[in-house]
Structure 1
Amino acid sequence: MSEIAVDAGPVRVPLDRTWWQRHGATTIVWGTRAALLVVLLVLWEIASDRWIDSTFVSRPSDILERLGEWSADGTLWSNTWITVQEIVYGFVLGAATGAAAGFLLASASLAYRVLDPFVMALYSIPKVALAPLFIVWFGIGMHMKVLLAAVTVFFLVFLNTAAGVRDVDRGLVDAVRLMGGTRRDIARKVVLPASMTGVLTGLKVSIPYALIGAVIGELVASNRGLGYLINDAAAQFDTAGVFATLVVLSVIASVLNVLVGLVGRRVNRWKPTDD
């Protein structure tokens, strides 16, 4: 009697879809974005010195020319590298400490209730006001900018992580307890995975604030970095130079957003998709 082998697991039925059916929506979104950007740049170029004084708004062609000049003489790359280091180090330091503190404190309900008003009071302090104090403590070197960016990131990641931990479904926690799970099992297998949405939200929200912290430090006291380039260009009424630096900062923020998005998709693979 012959045996019929049956494969375990779900049956996968391949869908015969065209390229447009698979990628059409994404293509439309990116095409619309590109078209909108081109229209805005063309209108900006036309309006400059016709309807608006270019001294105040510059023009896209001048900005592109300034970027070319700075790239050719190395000004752009050397100062961008300094700022990128400050942003990345500050982001990683602030995100790591904020996520760890948020997870630990939110897991301890009593400690969180005691410390919550103090954390909110510190969070409410404008980070710009901390720059002079950080200069006194750490000088005007890279450490000051890194720590200023880290402090800015810390609170955003902390608050979002804590919210994610406290919003964990209590029914899941009780179910693990009924099955004999320890506190460590609950933390590792329930609270940590379920709170990742809050962590990733904090990471995404804090990316521009990492830039803000680093650039504020450079604006207050620095002789290198993109914040220094903004100060130097503004002092010379070089509007094209200011906009060129802002373009570079926008590119850095976009790259960081993409990287965080990739990490988020990898971490949240266990979640069901909406498709």
Structure 2
Amino acid sequence: MGNGKAARYRGGIIIGQIALLLLGLGFIEYIVRAGIVGSLYVPEPTRVVQEIAALFTKGELFRHLFVTLQEFAAGYVLSALAGIGTGMFLVLVPNAETFFRPYLSALLAIPKVTIIPLLMLWLGIGLSNKIAIVFLFCFFTIAFNTITGIKQTAEQHLKVARVFEATKFQTIWKVILPSAAPTIFVSLRLSAATGLVGALFGEMTASKEGMGNLLIQATSVYDTAKAFAIITIITVVSVLIIAFIDTLEKKVVLKWKSS
């Protein structure tokens, strides 16, 4: 398939996707305006768009969004560093995985929502509480995927490194991490979505600000249109975060791996 034909094919797919989205929104608009479904349960898409515009115009959105992104970014970065570091330690240090894996599995099995009340007791309801929640939502996915990715390193690559007398650091940096990178980035994408959910859940449980708190305020007065507007904004932010991680993988890690 030539470049021009491929571009037209992609353009056709995008047009089809947009058309399907508009068709779905139009259908929802019709059934709500016709009274088939009450606007208390599902608002008209046009009202949701108006609420999104109002949130941006009033300026309250930016303060709450900044708080949520701050909580997410801190917890996510800490969990990525700790998860990748833990995974490397357990695989690369002899017998470490055998010794520590039962403890890690037991911690993974604990429902995160049962720990949140304890985190409120230990850390209060401020920033540190939300960072800890995001960390818990992300850490185990990253750690276990790092373990899996490192174990998938081809044995012949390791043999080549030994033939060239590569140091331990060079083997990790030039062979093991590039090989494990695709699996690690899968976990980073998954954790980006779940980490944002963790931040929102923490704010909905106990917080005076943030997108989760804004959502609770809207639902408490049955402002469904505003609630859907907030959910739409959060969804777009989540998609943008995942798109950034995809770009990072393509621009940095794939070049690193090919070199």
TM-score (norm 1): 0.87
Q: CA RMSD for the aligned pairs?
A: 1.8
* Correspondence 1:36 to 2:42: no
* Correspondence 1:140 to 2:125: yes
Rounded Cα–Cα distance in structure 2 between residues aligned with 1:166 and 1:108: 13
**Higher CA-based Rg:** 1
CA contact (8 A) 2:179 2:257 kept: no
Rounded Cα–Cα distance in structure 2 between residues aligned with 1:23 and 1:90: 39
Deviations 1:32-90 (A, max 9, x none): 22112111111111111532111111121121122222222222121111111112222
Which range moved further: 135-144 or 29-38? 29-38
Rounded Cα–Cα distance in structure 1 between residues aligned with 2:227 and 2:157: 52
* Correspondence 1:213 to 2:198: yes
Higher share of residues assigned helix: 2
Rounded Cα–Cα distance in structure 2 between residues aligned with 1:75 and 1:216: 20
Within-5 A mapping of 1:122-271: 122-266=107-251, 267-269=253-255
Distance 1:228 1:96, change over 3 A: same
* Correspondence 1:113 to 2:98: yes
Equivalent position SS for 2:95: helix
Equivalent position of 2:8 in the other structure: 24
Per the TM alignment, residue 181 of structure 1 is displaced from its structure 2 partner at its CA by 2.8
CA contact (8 A) 2:203 2:210 kept: yes
Rounded Cα–Cα distance in structure 2 between residues aligned with 1:210 and 1:41: 28
The size of the alignment, in residue pairs, is 256
Identity %: 27
One-letter amino acid of the counterpart of residue 235, structure 1:
S
CA contact (8 A) 1:105 1:111 kept: yes
Distance 1:270 1:186, change over 3 A: closer
Rounded Cα–Cα distance in structure 2 between residues aligned with 1:27 and 1:91: 34
**One of 36, 46, 55 as aligned partner of 2:30:** 46
Which range moved further: 122-131 or 246-255? 122-131
Rounded Cα–Cα distance in structure 2 between residues aligned with 1:123 and 1:28: 44
Per the TM alignment, residue 189 of structure 1 is displaced from its structure 2 partner at its CA by 1.7
One-letter amino acid of the counterpart of residue 105, structure 1:
L
